[in-house]
Structure 1
Amino acid sequence: MAEILVLYYSRGGSVARLARQIARGIGEVEGMAARLRTVPPVAPVTQQAAPPVPEDGAPYVEARDLAECAGLILGSPTRFGNMAAPLKHFIDGLGAEWASGTLVDKPAAVFTSTATQHGGQESTLLSMQLPLLHHGCLLVGIPFTETLLSTTRTGGSPYGASHVAGGSDDPTLSDDESALARALGRRVADVARRLGERR
């Protein structure tokens, strides 16, 4: 069974919830499964490093996860219109994978969560897409054939799945956000499956 790597950083739980919905969508495609992974937090040198295994949730990503995946979906909360430092730190360390073409021709997508409707969702999604292009990934978004894109009053974008937590940082996803996240997972898995059949 081919696997799509769903790799994310989550602080308040919203991005992790989106990741699980994306994983559900991946599992709806025959012959495809999700591999959920996270990245450790980045701390100043005066603080203790993260433990080698997270206390709960997805395990930390390893280089082999990138090599073994049939596709990649990255997720991060927004930090001033950009991806969070832990995910950026991980991506910045992928020089060997870039040089060897580990991710070339693999479908890839992105997802995010913000506290406010205008908190920089689309710029964050775009910021995560840029390194994927450098790695030779085939970017996959959510097309407007997903009619919820035209009617949602919460998260969701053609650039990727998203969630609006609101002022209370509520990690609960709306029905539209959940459906669009599953649609993104299905689409990446379907593209990966069809690419695999041609190889």
Structure 2
Amino acid sequence: MSPVLVLYYSRNGSTKRLADAIAQGVSALDVPVIVRTVPSLNPSEDDDRSPVATVTLQELEQCSALALGSPTRFGNMAAPMKHFLDSTSSLWLKGALIDKPACVFTSSSSMHGGQESTLLSMMLPLIHHGMVVCGLPYSEPELHSTTTGGSPYGVSHVAHHDFANPQQLSDDEKALCMAQGKRLARFAKVLSQQAPSEK
């Protein structure tokens, strides 16, 4: 089957940590996965980020499922992610992403930094593409116990304000990332096995 695409933007590394943990969840079910980023709108910022390949429209079109992540920016996704999504009209015109499963994830510097509204904002273009958005059910015990990140809309991370010493993922955040990756992989397996006429 085609790989699951974990696509993110990260300025200080927190969203990248979520992306890597979700990718581990996908891999745990023996589903191929690729991790990609989107370019910054300010090229000088790219020098500060880890060397992860930039996504292509072809990779997005060919993926079996999508995990989409961005830090919060005033309760919304970061501009580089929005800029990339705005460039996907050609895929929308031919319905390339219809019926593919997707999930969203985010990080913020504070507990109430707009995580849920950011997750919801990232769902909207996926719904317009006809994707099947999957969150996290409350059967995941960490959703009941977390005092850091975590949401039924998608996994999240509270990074706090110390950018020089970024907060690592909490145990609850890691567990929810694994659960989200596994759930996305399960949906990708089921949907990829259906004949096109059945979808």
> Aligned letter for 1:176?
D
Contact 1:144 1:158 in 2 (8 A): yes
Q: Deviations over 1:73-113 (max 9, x none)?
A: 10000000000000000001111011011111000000000
Query: 1:22 aligned to 2:16?
Result: no
Unaligned runs of 5+ in 1: none
Q: CA deviation at 1:26?
A: 0.1
Find the counterpart in structure 2 of residue 56 from structure 1.
Answer: 50
Q: In the alignment, does 2:149 pair up with 1:181?
A: no
CA distance in 2, matches of 1:141, 1:92: 23
Secondary structure at the aligned position of 1:194 is classed as helix
Pick from 126, 132, 142 the counterpart of residue 136 of structure 2.
142
Provide the rounded CA distance (Å) in 2 between the counterparts of 1:29 and 1:66: 21
2:191 is the alignment partner of 1:195: yes
Q: Structure 1 residues 55 and 82 mapped into 2: Cα distance closer, same or farther (>3 Å)?
A: closer
- CA distance, structure 2, for counterparts of residue 12 and residue 171 of structure 1: 11
Q: Secondary structure at the match of 2:107?
A: strand
Provide the C-alpha distance between the structure 2 equivalents of 1:50 and 1:16, rounded to a whole number of angstroms: 15
Local SS of the residue matching 1:191: helix
Q: State whether structure 2 residue 33 is matched by structure 1 residue 37.
A: no
For structure 2, the residue ranges without an aligned partner over 5 or more in a row are none
TM-score of the superposed pair, with normalisation by structure 1: 0.92
Q: Secondary structure at the match of 2:99?
A: coil
* Distance across 1 between alignment mates of 2:8 and 2:60: 13
User: CA RMSD for the aligned pairs?
Assistant: 1.7
Kept in 2: contact 1:38–1:59 (CA 8 A): yes
1:78-97 matches, cutoff 5 A: 78-97=72-91
TM-fit CA distance, 1:58: 1.7
Measure, in 1, the Cα distance between the counterparts of 2:167 and 2:125: 27
Per the TM alignment, residue 198 of structure 1 is displaced from its structure 2 partner at its CA by: 2.3
CA deviation after TM superposition for structure 1 residue 50, in Å: 7.6
Deviation at 1:55, TM superposition (A): 6.8
Q: Secondary structure at the match of 1:176?
A: helix
Question: Distance in 1 between the 2:71 and 2:186 partners?
Answer: 26
Residues 151 and 80 of structure 1: CA distance in aligned 2, closer, same or farther (over 3 Å): same
Alignment-derived partner of residue 65 in structure 2: 71
1:195, CA displacement in angstroms? Answer: 1.2
- Tell whether the 8 Å contact from 2:160 to 2:167 is kept in structure 1 after alignment: no
Q: Displacement of 1:171 after TM fit? A: 3.8
Which residue matches 1:105? 99
Report how far residue 2 of structure 1 moved. 3.0
What percentage of residue pairs aligned between the two structures are identical?
Answer: 51
List 4+ stretches of structure 1 deviating above 6 A.
none
Q: 1:134 to 1:15 in 2, by over 3 A?
A: same
Deviation, 1:57, is: 3.0
Q: What is the aligned residue count?
A: 193
